[in-house]
Amino acid sequence: MADLVSHPDEVRVVSKRFGQGATDINRYLALDGYKAVQKALAMQPEAIINEVKNSGLRGRGGAGFNTGLKWSFVPKQSAKPKYILCNGDESEPGTCKDRLIFEHDPHAVIEGTMIAGLAVGAQSGYIYLRGEYRYLLEITQKAIADAYAKGFLGKNIFGSGRDFEVYWHGGAGAYEVGEESALMESLEGKRGIPRIRPPFPAVVGLWGGPTVINNAETLASVPPIIMGGAEWFANLGTPKNGGTRLFCLGGHLKKPGVYELPMGYNLKKMIYDVGGGIPNGRKLKAVVPGGSSCPLLTADEIDVPMDFDSLAKIGSMLGSGGLVVADDTTCMVKFALRIMKFYQHESCGWCIPCREGTDWLKKTLTRFHAGGGIKKDIDNIQYLSENMLGRTMCPLGDAAALPTISIVKKFRKEFEDHLEGKPCPFEKSGAARQLPVFA
Amino acid sequence: MRFSEQFESRFAEMLTHYPTKRSVLVPTLLYAQDEVGFLSEEVISELATRLELTELDVRNVISYYSMLTTKPRGKYNVQVCTNIACLLRGGEELLQHCEKKLGIRHKGTTPDGLFSLEEVECIGACSWAPAVQVNYDFHENLTNEKMEEVLEAYSRKARQ
């Protein structure tokens, strides 16, 4: 069980039931649970979609696409069944928010899935949880069983004459599966290899049927929107970035933790006030603003509102809300290497630029950090990364390239400091020389 | 090949959740691995038959997922995260400490079959780093001392 934290600036929408025992269905009901889905049952599907569209809710998995708009792409008539797929395959390094949602408020995800189903005319939903989250899968299995026992799921939900089924599904360890089309492949019992789009999942998804895929936090945000209204939710955030978001604060901070803050909250304040600042009297060097696939920010770039558009404007991304803060003892070459090691491990190998690029970059960065770097490598690292951009079927290639390019550009001097066989300036004992020096 | 009753009832239930049989494959492989310890030839052959797949199909899926293994490992699989959030808070030192304490390296198993060690990618504990998962249990905000206590607790559990 992960520890909960709090801060006075928090606005609790998705986390309002955290620590309240809401995994128990009766407790969830006492805390206004399953009211939103009953309200939605009395609404026209278009009205639900419009409400969510106008709320400015954007995908919390990382892409930041307007959720209501995504729902509106699902055709009204379909020969094949339609599906809702909840993405709980949280694996983006730096991100640990969906874990808390399932741990404390699984019924909110179920309710959000049901409302999404009503909006697009689907009769079944799947909740996919990553394999490592076994205890959360058990919590979710019980929550689903309890909802069936109360008659909230299955045939004729809430006496409306409509049916809705919710099923659980577990993964077995794969970052790539968090990508929507790979997620569908995995659910269908295959290797998680992405599909070429178009057709998009809203038209051809699970088993060929139209499918809406939303992150768990996105779906958990839906019931409050239905209850509180689009305007209320939109006003919590900044224009076109409605609501709040669970920010996962990690790395070199005095008070790491998951905090729910309004969209557009200032990053500097988030680091120094909410997160308590940098410990041990150290200075800030770099921030990963939204999970490891986002371009890094330097200490000079942190006076920025944390919403999708403001971060895009300064060349980064809000991503999945996972902040990793690095102080001035951090070796950025090693940081880049660790990120690349991850993407090399997780690349499914289907697209050559990603498979070969991540492997080549990992090898180059490993040699470079160990003291075997030559000057040409620095530009080569950037060149290789740039050649992965946009040349893969899913965003994993971009996810590996973007942070790497930003580190080379913003911390070039640290690469130069590793040249000519010099030991890593940040290793306490000097970098272990595992590889020959070419310089 | 016999699985537990719980496995069988869950398997039967899961088959009703999807329009195709093979959709149960990924979670079923993990549940089977939990019972047998690893995905043996026998398990692969059994699941292939049940789901009307070739063994090659099943092996193809197994090789993609990092939690699935076709080789036996220790009773307690110690998975140390060294990804960025853990890296900054001592994940690598924790891994080295585990290597020293257990006398094994990445993907190794102790001679008594009690522990295996694995360096893993992000396990979703970034705000509580550094973190380790032993089988499915999370251990967070660790130090070398706390890690030793964790390992000791599992050793005791095995002796009981």
Residue A78, CA distances (Å) to A155, A210, A350 in order:
21, 8, 31
Q: Which residue of A has its CA nearest to B26?
A: A189
Query: Which residue range forms the structural domain that includes residue B136?
Result: 76-159
Do A206 and A255 fall into the same domain?
A: no
CA distance linking residue A15 with residue A217, whole number of Å: 10
Nearest neighbour of A93 by CB, restricted to B18, B30, B85: B85
Smallest Cα distance from B53 to chain A, Å: 11
At residue A171, the 3 state secondary structure works out as coil
- pLDDT tens profile A11-52: 999 999 999 999 999 999 999 999 999 999 999 999 999 999
This prediction's pTM: 0.96
Nearest neighbour of B128 by CB, restricted to A2, A132, A133: A2
pLDDT at position B1: 85
Do A227 and A365 fall into the same domain?
A: no
The answer, yes or no, to whether residue B69 has pLDDT greater than 60, is yes
Say yes or no for a CB contact (<8 Å) between A342 and B122. Answer: yes
Q: Which of residues 198-257 of A touch B (CB under 8 A)?
A: 207, 248-252, 256-257
- For residue A124, the surrounding DSSP H or E stretch is strand A124-129
Which of B34, B84, B96 best probes binding to A when mutated, by most A CB atoms within 10 angstroms? B84
Torsion region of A240: left, alpha or beta (phi above 0 gives left; psi -120 to 50 gives alpha): left
Do A221 and A123 fall into the same domain?
A: yes
pLDDT at position A422: 84
CA distance linking residue B102 with residue B96, whole number of Å: 10
Do B99 and B148 fall into the same domain?
A: yes
Do B86 and B132 fall into the same domain?
A: yes
**Domain containing residue A135: CATH number:** 3.40.50.11540
Nearest neighbour of A338 by CB, restricted to B83, B127, B138: B83
Q: Following DSSP, what letter does each residue of A316-380 receive, concatenated?
A: ---TTSEEEEEETT--HHHHHHHHHHHHHHH--S-SHHHHHHHHHHHHHHHHIIIII--HHHHHH
Q: Which residues of A touch B127 (CB under 8 A)?
A: 2, 96, 248-250, 256-258
Could you give the percent of chain B with pLDDT greater than 90? 99
Do A91 and A221 fall into the same domain?
A: yes
DSSP A208: G
Nearest neighbour of B129 by CB, restricted to A250, A292, A330: A250
Query: Which residue range forms the structural domain that includes residue A304?
Result: 244-327
Closest-CA residue to A260 (of A239, A236, A278): A236
The number of folded domains in chain A is 3
Assess if residue B46 is contained within a domain. Answer: yes
At residue A97, the 3 state secondary structure works out as helix
CA distance linking residue B112 with residue B97, whole number of Å: 19
CA distance linking residue A399 with residue A91, whole number of Å: 13
Do A263 and A361 fall into the same domain?
A: no
Assess if residue A167 is contained within a domain. Answer: yes
Q: Following DSSP, what letter does each residue of B70-125 receive, concatenated?
A: SS---SEEEEEE-SHHHHHTTHHHHHHHHHHHHT--TT-B-TTSSEEEEEES--S-
pLDDT at position A1: 65
pLDDT at position A420: 82
Q: Which residues of A touch B89 (CB under 8 A)?
A: 250-252
Do B57 and B82 fall into the same domain?
A: no
Do A322 and A351 fall into the same domain?
A: no
- For residue A413, the surrounding DSSP H or E stretch is helix A412-416
In chain A, DSSP finds a helix count (H) and a strand count (E) of 17, 11
pLDDT at position A436: 41
CA A186, A90, A16, A1 torsion-angle sign = positive
pLDDT at position A434: 41
Assess if residue B83 is contained within a domain. Answer: yes
The number of folded domains in chain B is 2
Say yes or no for a CB contact (<8 Å) between B136 and A134. Answer: yes
Cα first-last separation, chain B: 29
Which of B127, B128, B132, B138 best probes binding to A when mutated, by most A CB atoms within 10 angstroms? B127
Spatial CB neighbours of A272, under 8 Å, sequence gap ≥ 6: none
Task: Average pLDDT across each block of 10 residues of chain A; the chain has 439 residues. List them in order.
Answer: 91 98 98 98 98 98 96 97 98 97 98 98 98 98 98 96 98 97 98 96 98 98 98 97 98 97 98 97 97 98 98 97 96 97 96 97 95 94 97 96 98 94 76 41
**Domain containing residue A395: CATH number:** 1.20.1440.230
Do B37 and B82 fall into the same domain?
A: no
pLDDT at position A439: 35
Which of B18, B26, B70, B78 best probes binding to A when mutated, by most A CB atoms within 10 angstroms? B26
Q: Which residue has the tokens 């089309």?
A: A181
pLDDT at position B75: 97
Q: Which of A179, A208, A236 represents a domain boundary (last residue)?
A: A236
Do B49 and B95 fall into the same domain?
A: no
3-state helix, strand, coil in chain B (%, to 5): 50, 10, 40
Q: Which residues of B touch A326 (CB under 8 A)?
A: 88
